[in-house]
Amino acid sequence: MDSHLFMKIFHLLIFISALCLQARADSIIFLDSSRHPYLRSRSSDIVDESDLISLSEVAAAVSVLLGFAPPASLPAESSRKLDEVLLPNPFDRPRAVFMLEIGGIKDPLSLLDQSNFRVGSAFSGKVLIDSSKAEIEISDEDELSIISLDDRVGVESDVAFFDTELHDLANWLGGSYIGSPEAMDGELAFPLASGMSLNLNLSKKADWEFATDLLSLIDSIKRVIEIHEDFPGSMQNLAELMKGRFTGIQALQEQYGPGDLVEQGMELFLTALTKSFDSLQAALEGKIVGVILFNEKSSSDLDSMLDVKFSTRTSRRLEEVEPLNATTIAEVKLVRLSLAWITGVILLVSTLIGIYYLLNMPLTRDTLLYSNVKLD
């Protein structure tokens, strides 16, 4: 084989490999309400690569669900894919999106069938990650409320409160908690729908991160629900984007590697997500859609797959002019006064002339009084 041809093939293989590393297929799950659907019914089976949704198309779908127009630069093929996901009624959008990014999951779709994951009408697919992130373009900053779900719960704030929170978390998921968070040696046990049991030892860093991350996410969702229950209708004119990240599965993956413990942690997380999203749907009367993104690569606390970008609006405010001096003000007043007098004199003269002709007009010539009279 010619050496030049060999080098060309070698460089082509390197280029293709680089593309494969850059564009990877991660997973996405759309969560819809069975009572008030906003998404089309779709099978979770992926037939071919044409069913892949790019990250920019996911961002455009989120923008549309929030009630905003999709980006003008969206290609026709991407618009077709959005039509396959979203219902066509532009006047019926939830204007509330629950968006959660989960890092460190290699094949989450295979775990969905093994877990008790049923949230309204849910379907899943693959996302073609052709870039590190995409932007959700919003036209009006004043019409969107962004709610962060990443507030961490820590022992340093209040040990007694944190202990109560762990007990509440265990009871809410049908498990148990024994120990003291101050010593960080407690144990959490959760029964799973698969018949297995997940035991977390809080003295281990990965178990601790999974438990606290799950607790923080659930508490953040509860606070959102309380706001809607205490102040119903307060967000009626605002679109809501609830945005957060869950890294608990990633912590288990890095500590224990792929195996039963990671699958059990995933099952517990999906169970908690099911209950939390059902509560959100009840609080918002079904007007919400969930977008769950699973990133195969580990996600850092500072890097997000989807960011919000507000488009620049043209200011309609009049620019300030320099203040007028005394001479100019006097001239302006004179012109205004002259115009007022001239207009008044013209109206007065016109009124007098009209009255004169009206009084001196023959009665038989008045077409309003004698409209039906035939004049010779």
pLDDT in tens, 261-285: 888 888 899 889 888 988 998 888 8
> Would you place residue 203 in the very low, low, confident or very high pLDDT band (cuts 50, 70, 90)?
confident
Confidence band of 6 (pLDDT split at 50, 70, 90): very low
As a whole number, the mean pLDDT across the chain is 75
- What are the residues whose beta carbons fall under 8 Å from the beta carbon of 341, sequence distance 6 or more? none
CB 28 within 8 A of CB 294: yes
Predicted local distance difference test score (pLDDT) of residue 218: 92
Higher pLDDT, 140 or 365: 140
In whole angstroms, give the CA distance from residue 4 to residue 312: 51
Largest CA distance in the chain: 117
Q: 0.75 cut: is pTM over it?
A: no
Is pLDDT at 8 greater than 60 in this prediction? Answer: no
Kind and range of the H or E run holding 290: strand 289-295
Q: Which two structure tokens, joined as six digits, stand for 193?
A: 């729908």
Over 50: is that where the pLDDT of 15 sits? no
* Model confidence at 33: pLDDT above 60: yes
In angstroms, the CA 18 to CA 12 distance is: 10
pLDDT at residue 318 tops 80: no
Tokens 């396959």 appear where? Answer: 84
Amino acid sitting at position 84: E
Residue-level pLDDT at 162: 77
Residue 316 confidence class, pLDDT cut points 50, 70, 90: very low
The span from the CA of 108 to the CA of 101, in Å, is: 12
Cα 56 from chain centroid?
14
pLDDT (average), residues 237-252: 87
- Going 138 to 140 to 143 to 149, the CA torsion angle's sign is positive
What pLDDT, in 10s, does the model give residues 133-156?
788 888 776 688 888 888 765 545
